[in-house]
Amino acid sequence: MAAKSRHLNKIEPWHDPEERPYVYIENITKDYDGSAAVDEVNLSVYQGELFSLLGKSGCGKSTLLRMLAGFEMPSSGKIYIDGIDMSGIPPYRRPVSMVFQSYALFPHMNVEQNVAFGLKQEKLPRSQINERVDDVLELVQMLDFKKRKPHQLSGGQRQRIALARSLVKRPKLLLLDEPLAALDKKLREKTQLELVNIQEEVGITFIMVSHDQEEAMTMASRIGIMADGRIIQVGTPTEIYEYPNCKYVSNFVGAINMFEGLVVEEEENYAIVRSSVLDDSDIKVEHSASAAIGANVSVAIRPEKVVISKTPLKERNYNCAKGVVQDIIYLGDVSIYHVELANGHIVYSTATNLFRIAERPIQWDDEVYLYWLPENAILLTA
Protein backbone atom coordinates (compact mmCIF):
# COMPACT_ATOMS: atom_id res chain seq x y z
CA MET A 1 0.00 0.00 0.00
CA ALA A 2 2.70 2.45 0.88
CA ALA A 3 4.99 3.87 -1.75
CA LYS A 4 8.30 2.13 -1.75
CA SER A 5 10.95 4.03 0.09
CA ARG A 6 13.67 3.44 -2.47
CA HIS A 7 14.35 7.17 -2.73
CA LEU A 8 15.51 7.33 0.85
CA ASN A 9 19.23 7.32 1.41
CA LYS A 10 18.89 4.40 3.69
CA ILE A 11 15.96 2.11 4.03
CA GLU A 12 14.00 3.24 7.06
CA PRO A 13 16.48 5.76 8.46
CA TRP A 14 14.22 6.31 11.47
CA HIS A 15 15.43 2.97 12.83
CA ASP A 16 19.04 4.00 12.59
CA PRO A 17 20.21 5.75 15.77
CA GLU A 18 23.19 7.22 13.90
CA GLU A 19 21.04 9.01 11.35
CA ARG A 20 20.58 12.75 11.97
CA PRO A 21 17.02 14.03 11.40
CA TYR A 22 16.78 16.51 8.54
CA VAL A 23 13.88 18.39 10.04
CA TYR A 24 13.80 18.37 13.80
CA ILE A 25 10.86 19.82 15.71
CA GLU A 26 11.72 20.23 19.36
CA ASN A 27 8.99 20.54 21.95
CA ILE A 28 6.97 23.04 19.97
CA THR A 29 3.82 24.74 21.31
CA LYS A 30 1.54 27.31 19.74
CA ASP A 31 -1.02 29.09 21.90
CA TYR A 32 -4.00 30.98 20.56
CA ASP A 33 -5.71 33.04 23.26
CA GLY A 34 -4.74 30.60 25.97
CA SER A 35 -5.61 27.34 24.22
CA ALA A 36 -2.89 25.33 22.56
CA ALA A 37 -3.37 24.65 18.84
CA VAL A 38 -0.14 22.71 18.84
CA ASP A 39 0.88 21.19 22.15
CA GLU A 40 4.49 20.18 22.89
CA VAL A 41 5.10 18.37 19.64
CA ASN A 42 8.38 16.56 19.00
CA LEU A 43 9.03 15.20 15.55
CA SER A 44 11.95 14.11 13.40
CA VAL A 45 11.70 13.88 9.64
CA TYR A 46 14.59 12.43 7.63
CA GLN A 47 16.06 13.51 4.35
CA GLY A 48 14.13 12.33 1.31
CA GLU A 49 11.04 11.35 3.27
CA LEU A 50 7.48 12.01 2.25
CA PHE A 51 6.02 12.58 5.66
CA SER A 52 2.30 13.01 6.11
CA LEU A 53 0.59 14.74 9.02
CA LEU A 54 -2.84 13.17 9.27
CA GLY A 55 -5.72 14.37 11.40
CA LYS A 56 -9.18 15.85 11.50
CA SER A 57 -9.64 19.53 10.77
CA GLY A 58 -8.68 21.66 13.73
CA CYS A 59 -6.20 19.14 15.12
CA GLY A 60 -3.31 21.56 14.68
CA LYS A 61 -1.68 19.95 11.62
CA SER A 62 -1.99 23.10 9.47
CA THR A 63 -0.67 25.28 12.28
CA LEU A 64 2.34 23.01 12.59
CA LEU A 65 2.92 23.27 8.84
CA ARG A 66 2.59 27.05 8.93
CA MET A 67 5.17 27.20 11.71
CA LEU A 68 7.57 25.21 9.53
CA ALA A 69 6.99 27.71 6.72
CA GLY A 70 7.45 30.62 9.11
CA PHE A 71 3.98 32.16 8.79
CA GLU A 72 3.35 31.49 12.46
CA MET A 73 5.89 31.83 15.23
CA PRO A 74 5.86 29.08 17.88
CA SER A 75 4.99 30.15 21.42
CA SER A 76 7.78 27.91 22.63
CA GLY A 77 10.07 25.25 21.22
CA LYS A 78 12.37 25.20 18.22
CA ILE A 79 12.50 24.03 14.64
CA TYR A 80 15.74 22.90 13.02
CA ILE A 81 16.00 22.37 9.28
CA ASP A 82 19.23 20.73 8.13
CA GLY A 83 20.66 21.51 11.53
CA ILE A 84 19.90 25.24 11.42
CA ASP A 85 17.67 26.81 14.06
CA MET A 86 14.77 28.52 12.29
CA SER A 87 13.52 30.70 15.16
CA GLY A 88 13.23 34.33 14.15
CA ILE A 89 13.85 33.62 10.48
CA PRO A 90 11.04 35.12 8.35
CA PRO A 91 9.36 32.96 5.68
CA TYR A 92 11.21 34.71 2.85
CA ARG A 93 14.60 33.68 4.21
CA ARG A 94 13.77 30.04 4.92
CA PRO A 95 14.94 27.24 2.61
CA VAL A 96 11.36 26.04 2.61
CA SER A 97 8.61 26.18 -0.01
CA MET A 98 4.91 25.67 0.39
CA VAL A 99 2.14 24.42 -1.89
CA PHE A 100 -1.04 26.02 -0.65
CA GLN A 101 -4.41 24.31 -0.45
CA SER A 102 -5.92 27.08 -2.59
CA TYR A 103 -2.74 26.94 -4.76
CA ALA A 104 -2.36 30.72 -4.24
CA LEU A 105 -1.23 31.32 -7.82
CA PHE A 106 -0.76 34.99 -8.66
CA PRO A 107 -3.85 35.77 -10.74
CA HIS A 108 -2.23 38.69 -12.57
CA MET A 109 0.71 36.67 -13.85
CA ASN A 110 0.81 33.88 -16.42
CA VAL A 111 2.15 30.41 -15.73
CA GLU A 112 5.71 31.28 -16.71
CA GLN A 113 5.78 34.44 -14.58
CA ASN A 114 4.29 32.55 -11.66
CA VAL A 115 6.94 29.87 -11.78
CA ALA A 116 9.77 32.34 -12.39
CA PHE A 117 8.67 34.55 -9.49
CA GLY A 118 10.67 32.80 -6.79
CA LEU A 119 13.83 32.68 -8.91
CA LYS A 120 13.57 36.39 -9.66
CA GLN A 121 13.63 37.05 -5.93
CA GLU A 122 16.98 35.24 -5.85
CA LYS A 123 18.22 37.61 -8.59
CA LEU A 124 19.37 34.80 -10.87
CA PRO A 125 20.40 35.70 -14.44
CA ARG A 126 17.58 35.69 -16.97
CA SER A 127 18.87 32.73 -18.99
CA GLN A 128 19.23 30.54 -15.94
CA ILE A 129 15.70 31.41 -14.82
CA ASN A 130 14.29 30.46 -18.22
CA GLU A 131 16.15 27.18 -18.22
CA ARG A 132 14.99 26.17 -14.77
CA VAL A 133 11.41 27.24 -15.45
CA ASP A 134 11.32 25.13 -18.60
CA ASP A 135 12.84 22.14 -16.78
CA VAL A 136 10.32 22.20 -13.98
CA LEU A 137 7.36 22.79 -16.33
CA GLU A 138 8.50 19.76 -18.28
CA LEU A 139 8.66 17.76 -15.07
CA VAL A 140 5.02 18.55 -14.29
CA GLN A 141 4.07 18.25 -18.00
CA MET A 142 2.83 21.81 -18.30
CA LEU A 143 5.31 23.18 -20.81
CA ASP A 144 2.56 23.92 -23.34
CA PHE A 145 0.66 26.14 -20.94
CA LYS A 146 3.42 28.71 -20.31
CA LYS A 147 1.45 31.72 -21.48
CA ARG A 148 -1.88 30.86 -19.84
CA LYS A 149 -3.25 32.82 -16.91
CA PRO A 150 -4.26 30.82 -13.80
CA HIS A 151 -7.98 31.39 -14.43
CA GLN A 152 -7.58 29.64 -17.80
CA LEU A 153 -6.38 26.42 -16.17
CA SER A 154 -8.30 23.53 -14.66
CA GLY A 155 -7.96 22.55 -11.03
CA GLY A 156 -5.47 19.80 -11.73
CA GLN A 157 -3.36 22.05 -13.94
CA ARG A 158 -3.30 24.76 -11.29
CA GLN A 159 -2.15 22.20 -8.77
CA ARG A 160 0.78 21.25 -11.03
CA ILE A 161 1.76 24.88 -11.48
CA ALA A 162 1.64 25.47 -7.74
CA LEU A 163 3.91 22.47 -7.30
CA ALA A 164 6.25 23.63 -10.07
CA ARG A 165 6.44 27.11 -8.59
CA SER A 166 7.63 25.66 -5.29
CA LEU A 167 9.94 22.99 -6.76
CA VAL A 168 11.75 25.41 -9.02
CA LYS A 169 13.29 27.08 -5.97
CA ARG A 170 14.93 23.75 -5.09
CA PRO A 171 13.98 24.08 -1.44
CA LYS A 172 15.45 21.88 1.27
CA LEU A 173 11.91 21.14 2.41
CA LEU A 174 8.62 21.26 0.54
CA LEU A 175 5.42 21.70 2.52
CA LEU A 176 2.09 20.67 1.04
CA ASP A 177 -1.13 21.81 2.67
CA GLU A 178 -3.91 19.42 1.57
CA PRO A 179 -2.49 19.59 -1.98
CA LEU A 180 -5.15 17.38 -3.53
CA ALA A 181 -8.22 18.38 -1.51
CA ALA A 182 -9.67 20.51 -4.30
CA LEU A 183 -9.51 17.78 -6.95
CA ASP A 184 -12.18 15.21 -7.68
CA LYS A 185 -11.68 11.58 -6.71
CA LYS A 186 -10.35 10.08 -9.96
CA LEU A 187 -7.95 12.94 -10.57
CA ARG A 188 -6.86 12.85 -6.96
CA GLU A 189 -5.87 9.19 -7.17
CA LYS A 190 -3.92 9.77 -10.38
CA THR A 191 -2.18 12.84 -8.96
CA GLN A 192 -1.21 11.01 -5.75
CA LEU A 193 1.00 8.65 -7.70
CA GLU A 194 2.38 11.41 -9.90
CA LEU A 195 3.30 13.43 -6.84
CA VAL A 196 5.12 10.45 -5.34
CA ASN A 197 7.00 9.91 -8.62
CA ILE A 198 8.01 13.57 -8.80
CA GLN A 199 9.16 13.47 -5.21
CA GLU A 200 11.33 10.43 -5.95
CA GLU A 201 12.78 12.15 -8.99
CA VAL A 202 13.75 15.41 -7.29
CA GLY A 203 14.61 13.81 -3.95
CA ILE A 204 13.35 16.78 -1.90
CA THR A 205 11.93 16.12 1.56
CA PHE A 206 8.15 16.58 1.55
CA ILE A 207 5.93 17.21 4.54
CA MET A 208 2.27 16.95 3.64
CA VAL A 209 -0.85 17.73 5.61
CA SER A 210 -3.94 15.65 4.92
CA HIS A 211 -7.24 14.71 6.44
CA ASP A 212 -7.71 11.84 4.01
CA GLN A 213 -6.25 8.64 5.46
CA GLU A 214 -6.31 6.82 2.14
CA GLU A 215 -4.25 9.62 0.57
CA ALA A 216 -1.74 9.51 3.41
CA MET A 217 -1.46 5.70 3.23
CA THR A 218 -0.90 5.78 -0.52
CA MET A 219 1.73 8.48 -0.58
CA ALA A 220 3.62 8.73 2.67
CA SER A 221 6.78 6.98 3.78
CA ARG A 222 5.68 7.71 7.34
CA ILE A 223 2.54 9.13 8.87
CA GLY A 224 2.09 11.24 11.99
CA ILE A 225 -1.41 11.05 13.45
CA MET A 226 -2.44 14.28 15.16
CA ALA A 227 -5.32 15.03 17.50
CA ASP A 228 -5.93 18.00 19.79
CA GLY A 229 -2.59 19.57 18.95
CA ARG A 230 -0.54 16.50 19.83
CA ILE A 231 1.11 13.81 17.74
CA ILE A 232 -0.33 10.50 18.91
CA GLN A 233 1.52 8.01 16.77
CA VAL A 234 4.26 8.13 14.17
CA GLY A 235 4.89 5.20 11.91
CA THR A 236 4.86 3.72 8.44
CA PRO A 237 1.40 3.21 6.93
CA THR A 238 1.61 -0.51 7.79
CA GLU A 239 2.51 0.17 11.39
CA ILE A 240 -0.27 2.70 11.75
CA TYR A 241 -2.84 0.34 10.28
CA GLU A 242 -1.78 -2.93 11.80
CA TYR A 243 -0.35 -1.78 15.10
CA PRO A 244 -2.24 1.31 16.23
CA ASN A 245 -1.11 2.34 19.70
CA CYS A 246 -4.44 3.63 20.94
CA LYS A 247 -8.18 3.56 20.35
CA TYR A 248 -8.16 6.93 18.61
CA VAL A 249 -5.68 5.84 15.94
CA SER A 250 -7.35 2.48 15.38
CA ASN A 251 -10.72 4.18 14.92
CA PHE A 252 -9.35 7.00 12.78
CA VAL A 253 -7.47 4.85 10.29
CA GLY A 254 -9.83 2.37 8.67
CA ALA A 255 -12.85 0.62 10.21
CA ILE A 256 -12.47 -1.52 13.31
CA ASN A 257 -14.37 -3.73 15.77
CA MET A 258 -13.74 -2.83 19.36
CA PHE A 259 -14.34 -5.10 22.37
CA GLU A 260 -13.86 -3.79 25.88
CA GLY A 261 -13.19 -6.15 28.73
CA LEU A 262 -10.99 -7.34 31.58
CA VAL A 263 -7.78 -9.29 31.38
CA VAL A 264 -8.36 -12.65 33.02
CA GLU A 265 -5.22 -14.49 32.10
CA GLU A 266 -1.78 -13.34 31.03
CA GLU A 267 0.93 -15.48 29.51
CA GLU A 268 4.23 -14.61 27.88
CA ASN A 269 2.92 -14.11 24.38
CA TYR A 270 -0.81 -13.93 24.76
CA ALA A 271 -3.56 -12.69 27.02
CA ILE A 272 -7.14 -13.78 27.56
CA VAL A 273 -9.70 -10.99 27.78
CA ARG A 274 -13.26 -11.47 28.98
CA SER A 275 -15.71 -9.10 27.40
CA SER A 276 -19.39 -8.65 28.16
CA VAL A 277 -20.00 -8.33 24.44
CA LEU A 278 -19.09 -11.90 23.65
CA ASP A 279 -21.35 -14.21 25.62
CA ASP A 280 -19.89 -17.64 25.06
CA SER A 281 -16.23 -17.08 24.36
CA ASP A 282 -13.21 -15.23 25.62
CA ILE A 283 -10.83 -13.26 23.48
CA LYS A 284 -7.34 -14.54 22.99
CA VAL A 285 -4.90 -11.95 21.75
CA GLU A 286 -1.20 -11.96 21.04
CA HIS A 287 0.41 -8.89 22.45
CA SER A 288 3.60 -7.06 23.05
CA ALA A 289 2.29 -4.57 25.58
CA SER A 290 1.90 -6.07 29.00
CA ALA A 291 -1.43 -5.85 30.76
CA ALA A 292 -1.91 -6.96 34.35
CA ILE A 293 -4.68 -9.35 35.25
CA GLY A 294 -7.84 -7.42 36.05
CA ALA A 295 -6.88 -4.43 33.91
CA ASN A 296 -9.50 -2.73 31.73
CA VAL A 297 -8.46 -3.10 28.10
CA SER A 298 -9.85 -2.91 24.58
CA VAL A 299 -9.30 -5.44 21.86
CA ALA A 300 -9.50 -4.23 18.29
CA ILE A 301 -9.97 -6.40 15.21
CA ARG A 302 -10.10 -5.15 11.64
CA PRO A 303 -13.29 -6.29 9.82
CA GLU A 304 -11.32 -7.97 7.03
CA LYS A 305 -9.65 -10.18 9.63
CA VAL A 306 -12.96 -11.40 10.96
CA VAL A 307 -13.94 -14.51 9.04
CA ILE A 308 -17.62 -15.04 8.45
CA SER A 309 -19.10 -18.48 7.88
CA LYS A 310 -22.44 -20.29 8.02
CA THR A 311 -20.91 -23.30 9.76
CA PRO A 312 -19.51 -23.18 13.27
CA LEU A 313 -15.81 -23.78 13.84
CA LYS A 314 -15.38 -26.84 15.99
CA GLU A 315 -13.33 -27.11 19.14
CA ARG A 316 -12.88 -23.41 19.73
CA ASN A 317 -13.77 -21.59 22.88
CA TYR A 318 -12.09 -18.29 22.11
CA ASN A 319 -12.34 -15.59 19.42
CA CYS A 320 -15.68 -16.70 18.10
CA ALA A 321 -19.18 -15.34 18.08
CA LYS A 322 -22.61 -16.23 16.78
CA GLY A 323 -25.01 -13.72 15.29
CA VAL A 324 -27.54 -12.81 12.67
CA VAL A 325 -26.77 -10.89 9.48
CA GLN A 326 -28.52 -7.58 9.82
CA ASP A 327 -27.16 -5.77 6.81
CA ILE A 328 -24.91 -6.39 3.82
CA ILE A 329 -23.12 -3.53 2.11
CA TYR A 330 -22.00 -4.48 -1.37
CA LEU A 331 -18.97 -2.48 -2.54
CA GLY A 332 -18.14 -4.48 -5.64
CA ASP A 333 -14.76 -5.86 -4.65
CA VAL A 334 -15.79 -6.61 -1.08
CA SER A 335 -18.96 -6.87 0.96
CA ILE A 336 -19.29 -5.64 4.53
CA TYR A 337 -21.51 -7.77 6.77
CA HIS A 338 -23.16 -6.24 9.83
CA VAL A 339 -23.69 -9.10 12.23
CA GLU A 340 -25.86 -8.58 15.27
CA LEU A 341 -24.94 -10.70 18.30
CA ALA A 342 -27.52 -12.00 20.73
CA ASN A 343 -26.93 -9.11 23.08
CA GLY A 344 -27.48 -6.54 20.33
CA HIS A 345 -23.81 -5.69 19.74
CA ILE A 346 -22.87 -5.35 16.08
CA VAL A 347 -19.67 -6.83 14.66
CA TYR A 348 -18.42 -5.97 11.18
CA SER A 349 -16.85 -8.46 8.85
CA THR A 350 -15.45 -7.75 5.41
CA ALA A 351 -15.22 -10.53 2.86
CA THR A 352 -13.79 -10.44 -0.63
CA ASN A 353 -16.31 -11.27 -3.33
CA LEU A 354 -14.34 -14.03 -4.97
CA PHE A 355 -17.11 -15.13 -7.27
CA ARG A 356 -19.53 -13.24 -9.43
CA ILE A 357 -22.62 -14.06 -7.56
CA ALA A 358 -26.26 -13.65 -8.24
CA GLU A 359 -27.08 -15.79 -5.23
CA ARG A 360 -25.10 -14.76 -2.17
CA PRO A 361 -23.91 -17.60 0.03
CA ILE A 362 -24.79 -15.51 3.03
CA GLN A 363 -28.11 -13.67 3.09
CA TRP A 364 -29.93 -11.23 5.28
CA ASP A 365 -31.17 -12.77 8.53
CA ASP A 366 -28.90 -15.81 8.15
CA GLU A 367 -27.38 -17.18 11.28
CA VAL A 368 -23.59 -16.88 10.96
CA TYR A 369 -20.45 -17.65 12.92
CA LEU A 370 -17.54 -15.24 13.24
CA TYR A 371 -14.00 -16.01 14.28
CA TRP A 372 -10.53 -14.54 14.05
CA LEU A 373 -6.94 -15.44 14.82
CA PRO A 374 -5.25 -14.29 18.01
CA GLU A 375 -2.32 -12.73 16.09
CA ASN A 376 -4.71 -10.47 14.14
CA ALA A 377 -6.25 -8.81 17.17
CA ILE A 378 -4.69 -5.79 18.83
CA LEU A 379 -4.62 -5.26 22.57
CA LEU A 380 -5.03 -1.62 23.50
CA THR A 381 -4.43 -0.53 27.04
CA ALA A 382 -5.05 3.18 26.53
Partner 1 sequence: MLPKKVNTWKFHFRGSSLIVGVPYFWLLVFFLCPCLILLKISFADSVLQIPPYSNILKWINDNVAQLTFNFANYRLLFTDDLYVRTFTTSVVIAANSAFACLLIGYPMAYAIVRSRPKIRMILLMLIVLPFWTSFLIRVYSWVILLAPTGLINKALMYLGIIDQPLKLMGNYCAVAIGIVYTYLPFMVLPIYSSLEKIDNSVVEAAYDLGCTPTKAFFSVILPLSMRGVATGFSLVFMPAIGEYVMPEILGDVSTVTIGRIVWSEFFTNLSWPVASALSVMMIIFVALPVTLWYGGQQSRLNKKLNIHEKV
Binding footprint of partner 1 on the chain (CB under 8 A): 69-71, 90-93, 96-98, 100-102, 104-108, 117-118, 121-122, 151-154, 165-166, 169
Nearer to partner 1, 34 or 294 (CB): 34
CB 77 → partner 1: shortest distance, Å?
21
Amino acid at site 261: G
Nearer to partner 1, 162 or 378 (CB): 162
CB 130 → partner 1: shortest distance, Å?
17
Return the beta strands (E) in the chain as ranges: 23-32, 35-45, 50-54, 76-81, 84-85, 96-99, 173-177, 205-210, 222-227, 230-235, 257-266, 270-275, 283-286, 296-301, 307-309, 320-330, 334-341, 346-352, 367-371, 378-380
CB 26 → partner 1: shortest distance, Å?
23
Nearer to partner 1, 105 or 227 (CB): 105
Nearer to partner 1, 68 or 253 (CB): 68
- 25 to 43, 53, 81, 205: CA distances (angstroms): 5, 13, 9, 15
CB 64 → partner 1: shortest distance, Å?
16
Segment (H or E) for 164: helix 155-167
How far is it, in rounded angstroms, from Cα 138 to Cα 141? 5
Nearer to partner 1, 32 or 71 (CB): 71
How far is it, in rounded angstroms, from Cα 381 to Cα 276? 17
CB 159 → partner 1: shortest distance, Å?
13
CB 152 → partner 1: shortest distance, Å?
6
Nearer to partner 1, 156 or 254 (CB): 156
* DSSP bridge partners of 72: none
* DSSP bridge partners of 6: none
